[in-house]
């Protein structure tokens, strides 16, 4: 019970921190939507406007738009969290106080992630309603929507462990943003966030299935679209990756903390 | 015999960094070739601190004070040696250990910037598992003592430095720690705020049986708070003893200043024998008089000269510290005498 209270209070504090700046909060909702309209919607509309093109690898225009709206939703829900501050906190010695509190650094960080996810769920719900009300998103059914939500939240845990790892590298590297950018770009292309995986060669897709990438965007999108018949496999694969990354993070933290200098104090 | 709460033997911390030449070329070069330098921030450090003591850790910037504090609190891992704090090895960062210590960093805020201090306190209440009634009582007592009752619900980023520091202190003491580490708690504060913080710490120490380790560059802090001083130079412990011993480390003479109503003849024997230092108008003189002669010499001067004002030095510790920092060779002499309770060392006056 005492532990639950610790976590709950931390989640509440992080929530206040996330929503402290109103403008920032609203931009989080509007930003991705604007990108979607200006880039993806226009791009695919003009590709399909060519009369000879009606279906691309099984996607009609409305299905393609659906795919990309869901990609945006998944991006917000499963891959929204960033450990951008983590490596900076390490480098600038800001984690010192967490080494002294009787609440571990990873616990604090995870609680902060959970509160971020609650916020994202809220933002995503508004976005879905918005896109659905203007008629460019079709929702198969309520139960599929819920299944998609749950799977996305699970994937977000995996994304979190991956982000946490890139943050911990801050113990060794003075700057980790370039690593983060590489990871973002790779993920964007290999996870199906930019174009559906069906557009890649078959052999490449079967190779990708051995990596965690498709589980970050492609499978969650398919779940939202009601086309993921292998939900159990999807959950199992993500679970395995989460366990692997938790172990790596634990090991890296143990090694890294020996190098920590608590700069700036 | 009081219980030992901090014990270190041959404690050492090494840091590795690399040299980088300025400019773009330097940056490019450093990508391929790096001159690594290993610096020992703390060397062979032996220390024994008993329960209830207030210890001042003194030394110039970069001497290793903060590194020591970081090792004591478990923030950095020692490279070598033994270290026990309250019977725990700090770098293992046992949760029970963490519940018994507190660290206040004058240069770094531990409170959450975007929320009121009270919200941070509530979070800390959960972290430290403090009972509701206890928590309320402590908040009430401390906020009254520090005069910040009205500020508890204001966002931390809107507070002044002095007000924030008071909140930092409250946040660090909310769990009644057994050992409190204060790293420059009065840095950047105005004189009144400095005094408030000092008085609060003093009062808190009297009421609660805690041990306090404080570092500060303000000698007034040290003078007001510390009974015992530990001096660090370049990672070495050079002095460890009572404040009164430190004050007389450079000699038992007293510094006395006399002001006169008219210019005086500076060539008299009485001035020369006490290393007189005159102001340009010859109406003020600083003398260095042996303790045992202070009374008679002062009386003579008062009788014979038109003295308008005279006073003895308020903070000899400040002079001693300045002299040591300007003349590191004296520190070596101290070191040769094995640190603890060194006797008097003669030196030229500044």
Query: Per-residue pLDDT tens for B25-47?
Result: 777 777 777 778 888 889 999 99
A263 found inside a domain: no
pLDDT at B332 over 80: no
Greater pLDDT, B57 or A180: B57
CA distance B43 to B258: 44
Residues 53-112 of A with CB under 8 A from B: 93-94, 96-97, 99-103
Q: Does A262 touch chain B (CB under 8 A)?
A: yes
Average pLDDT, rounded, for chain B: 86
Q: Does A178 touch chain B (CB under 8 A)?
A: no
Q: Do B253-312 and B4-240 fall under one CATH topology?
A: no
CA distance A128 to B222: 62
A46 found inside a domain: yes
- Chain A's closest residue to B95, CA to CA, is A102
DSSP state of B88: B
CA distance B158 to B342: 48
Whose tokens are 């206890």? That residue is: B134
Burial of B224 (0-12, 13-18, 19+ CB in 10 A): middle
Residues of B within 8 A of A175 (CB-CB) are: none
Q: How far is B194 from chain A (nearest CA, A)?
A: 19
Overall average pLDDT of the B267-282 stretch: 86
Cα B39–B43–B48 angle (5° rounding)? 150
B257's CB contacts (< 8 A; 6+ apart) are B284, B285, B286, B287, B310, B311, B312, B313
Q: Edge to edge, what strands does the sheet with B54-58 contain?
A: B101-105, B179-183, B211-215, B54-58, B228-233, B236-242
Overall average pLDDT of the B67-77 stretch: 92
- Domain tally, chain A: 1
Q: Does A263 touch chain B (CB under 8 A)?
A: no
Tell which CATH classification among 3.40.50.970, 3.50.50.60, 3.40.50.300, 3.30.70.360 matches the domain B4-240.
3.40.50.300
User: What pLDDT band is residue B2 in, cutting at 50, 70 and 90?
Assistant: confident
Q: Do the Cβ atoms of A97 and B73 come within 8 Å?
A: no
Residues of A within 8 A of B65 (CB-CB) are: none
Q: Do the Cβ atoms of A265 and B107 come within 8 Å?
A: yes
A122 found inside a domain: yes
Q: How far is B162 from chain A (nearest CA, A)?
A: 18
User: What pLDDT band is residue B79 in, cutting at 50, 70 and 90?
Assistant: very high
The DSSP H or E segment spanning B256 is strand B253-260
pLDDT for position B344: 41
Q: Are the beta carbons of B223 and B74 closer than 8 angstroms?
A: no
A265 found inside a domain: no
Q: Do the Cβ atoms of A100 and B73 come within 8 Å?
A: yes
Q: Which of A2, A17, A94 sits opposite B129 (nearest CB)?
A: A2
What residues pair up with B105 in beta bridges, in sequence order?
B183
Sequence ranges of the domains in chain B:
4-240, 253-312
Q: Do the Cβ atoms of A96 and B108 come within 8 Å?
A: yes
CA distance B156 to B118: 9
Q: Which of B75, B122, B127 sits opposite A103 (nearest CB)?
A: B127
Q: Do the Cβ atoms of A262 and B102 come within 8 Å?
A: no
Report mean pLDDT in 10-residue bins for chain A, 265 residues: 87 82 74 79 87 82 89 88 78 84 90 90 88 85 92 94 90 82 89 90 90 92 88 92 95 90 73
> What is the length of chain B?
350
Q: How far is B82 from chain A (nearest CA, A)?
A: 16
pLDDT at B339 over 50: no
pLDDT in tens, B197-233: 899 899 989 988 899 999 988 888 888 899 999 999 8
pLDDT at B348 over 50: no
Q: By residue range, what is the domain housing residue A168?
A: 2-256
Greater pLDDT, B295 or B24: B295
pTM over 0.80, yes/no: yes
CA distance B334 to B249: 9
pLDDT in tens, A118-134: 988 988 898 888 888 98
- CATH T-level fold of B253-312: Alpha-Beta Plaits (3.30.70)
């Amino acid at each position: 019970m005492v532990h639950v209270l610790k976590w709950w209070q931390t989640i509440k504090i992080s929530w206040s921190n996330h929503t402290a700046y109103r403008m920032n909060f609203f931009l989080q909702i509007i930003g991705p939507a604007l990108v979607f309209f200006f880039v993806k919607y226009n791009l695919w509309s003009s590709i399909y406007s060519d009369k000879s093109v009606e279906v691309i690898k099984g996607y009609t225009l409305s299905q393609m738009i659906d795919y990309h709206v869901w990609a945006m939703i998944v991006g917000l829900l499963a891959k929204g969290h960033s450990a951008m501050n983590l490596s900076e906190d390490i480098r600038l010695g800001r984690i010192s106080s967490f080494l002294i509190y009787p609440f571990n650094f990873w616990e604090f960080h995870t609680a902060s992630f959970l509160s971020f996810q609650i916020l994202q769920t809220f933002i995503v719900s508004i976005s879905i309603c918005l896109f659905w009300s203007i008629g460019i998103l079709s929702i198969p059914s309520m139960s599929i929507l819920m299944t998609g939500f749950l799977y996305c939240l699970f994937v977000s845990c995996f994304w979190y462990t991956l982000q946490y790892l890139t943050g911990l590298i801050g113990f060794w590297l003075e700057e980790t943003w370039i690593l983060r950018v590489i990871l973002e770009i790779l993920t964007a292309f290999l996870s199906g966030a930019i174009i559906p995986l069906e557009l890649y060669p078959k052999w490449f897709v079967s190779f990708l299935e051995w990596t965690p990438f498709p589980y970050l965007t492609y499978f969650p999108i398919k779940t939202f679209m009601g086309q993921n018949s292998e939900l159990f496999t999807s959950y199992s694969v993500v679970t395995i990756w989460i366990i692997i990354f938790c172990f790596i993070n634990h090991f890296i933290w143990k090694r890294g903390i020996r190098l920590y200098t608590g700069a700036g104090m | 015999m009081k219980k030992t709460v901090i014990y270190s033997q041959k404690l050492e911390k090494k840091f590795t960094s690399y040299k980088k030449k300025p400019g773009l070329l330097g940056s490019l070069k450093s990508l391929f070739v790096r001159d690594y330098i290993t610096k020992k921030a703390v060397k062979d450090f032996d220390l024994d601190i008993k329960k209830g003591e207030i210890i001042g850790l003194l030394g110039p910037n970069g001497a290793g004070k903060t590194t020591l504090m970081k090792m004591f609190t478990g923030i950095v891992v020692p490279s070598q040696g033994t270290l026990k704090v309250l019977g725990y090895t700090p770098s293992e960062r046992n949760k029970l250990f963490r519940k018994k210590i507190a660290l206040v960093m004058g240069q770094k805020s531990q409170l959450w910037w975007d929320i009121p201090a009270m919200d941070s306190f509530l979070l800390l209440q959960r972290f430290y598992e403090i009972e509701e009634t206890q928590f309320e009582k402590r908040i009430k007592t401390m906020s009254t003592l520090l005069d910040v009752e009205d500020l508890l619900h204001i966002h931390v980023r809107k507070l002044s430095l002095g007000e924030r520091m008071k909140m930092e202190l409250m946040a660090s003491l909310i769990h009644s720690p057994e050992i409190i580490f204060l790293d420059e708690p009065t840095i950047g504060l105005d004189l009144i705020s400095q005094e408030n913080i000092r008085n609060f710490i003093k009062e808190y120490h009297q009421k609660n049986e805690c041990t306090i380790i404080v570092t500060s560059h303000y000698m007034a802090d040290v003078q007001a708070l510390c009974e015992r001083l530990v001096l660090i130079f370049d990672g070495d412990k050079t002095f460890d003893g009572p404040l009164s011993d430190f004050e007389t480390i450079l000699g038992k003479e007293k510094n006395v200043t006399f002001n006169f109503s008219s210019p005086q003849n500076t060539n008299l024997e009485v001035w020369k024998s006490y290393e007189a230092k005159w102001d340009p108008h010859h109406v003020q003189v600083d003398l260095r008089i042996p303790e045992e002669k202070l009374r008679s010499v002062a009386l003579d001067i008062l009788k014979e000269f038109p003295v308008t004002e005279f006073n003895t030095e308020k903070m000899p510790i400040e002079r001693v510290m300045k002299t040591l920092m300007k003349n590191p060779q004296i520190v070596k002499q101290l070191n040769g005498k094995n640190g603890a309770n060194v006797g008097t060392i003669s030196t030229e006056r500044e």
